[in-house]
């Protein structure tokens, strides 16, 4: 036993110095590798954070723009729809059912509506100067548009209102007309 203890304590000083130098080199390399990995990790972290900010900002802006567009279209639709219902009501409840009275009523509604400063601001916001009914007439039948596939018709025979059809306006499904798509999941570049 004593021989082993003396052998271990009597190692060659040159070998001990070489082992110590190797350990120092390994320690320095280890520290350099750890510092390098930390630098890479923080560099990638900031890159991922920037990428996430850009992705969230872009996709959120796209979604909110879509919502604003639908809101814009709804506001415009409600204004046009209420004016058209007003025209239907006034035409059907008029004491004078003549074609001339209908034209005057149509013009008076547009004029009164466009005289309101708040309404003028709305139409300017929507890109129009003023409100105007989209009317087409042929042989005493007036078609007033209430959308791409919707119109109200007023039929005049010999200058007197004989028939009106506003069923398309009454059955208009507004909930399917204005849809906001769900926001898309965030996607980050690989």
Q: How confident is the model at residue 14 (pLDDT cuts 50, 70, 90)?
A: confident
CA distance 163 to 153: 8
pLDDT at site 151: 80
Q: Are 187 and 90 in contact (CB under 8 A)?
A: no
pLDDT in tens, 73-124: 787 788 778 888 888 888 888 888 888 888 888 888 888 777 778 777 777 7
Q: Are 133 and 144 in contact (CB under 8 A)?
A: yes
pLDDT in tens, 69-86: 888 778 778 877 888 888
Nearest to 90 by CA among 75, 78, 106, 76: 106
Give the number of residues written for the chain. 190
Q: Are 67 and 180 in contact (CB under 8 A)?
A: yes
CB atoms within 10 A of CB 153: 16
CA distance 100 to 88: 15
């Amino acid at each position: 036993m004593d021989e082993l203890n003396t052998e271990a304590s009597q190692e060659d000083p040159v070998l001990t110095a070489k082992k110590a130098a190797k350990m120092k080199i390994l320690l320095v390399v280890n520290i350099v590798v750890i510092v390098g990995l930390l630098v890479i990790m923080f560099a990638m972290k900031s890159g991922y954070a920037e990428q996430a900010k850009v992705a969230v900002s872009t996709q959120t802006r796209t979604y909110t723009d879509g919502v604003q567009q639908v809101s814009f279209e709804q506001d415009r639709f409600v204004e046009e729809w209420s004016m058209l219902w007003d025209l239907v009501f006034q035409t059907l409840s008029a004491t004078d059912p003549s074609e001339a009275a209908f034209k005057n009523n149509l013009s008076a509604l547009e004029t009164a509506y466009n005289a309101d400063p708040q309404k003028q601001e709305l139409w300017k916001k929507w890109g129009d100067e003023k409100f105007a009914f989209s009317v087409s007439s042929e042989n005493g039948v007036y078609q007033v548009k209430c959308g791409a596939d919707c119109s109200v018709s007023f039929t005049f025979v010999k200058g007197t209102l004989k028939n009106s059809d506003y069923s398309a306006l009454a059955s208009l499904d507004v909930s399917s007309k204005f849809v906001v798509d769900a926001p898309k999941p965030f996607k980050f570049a690989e």
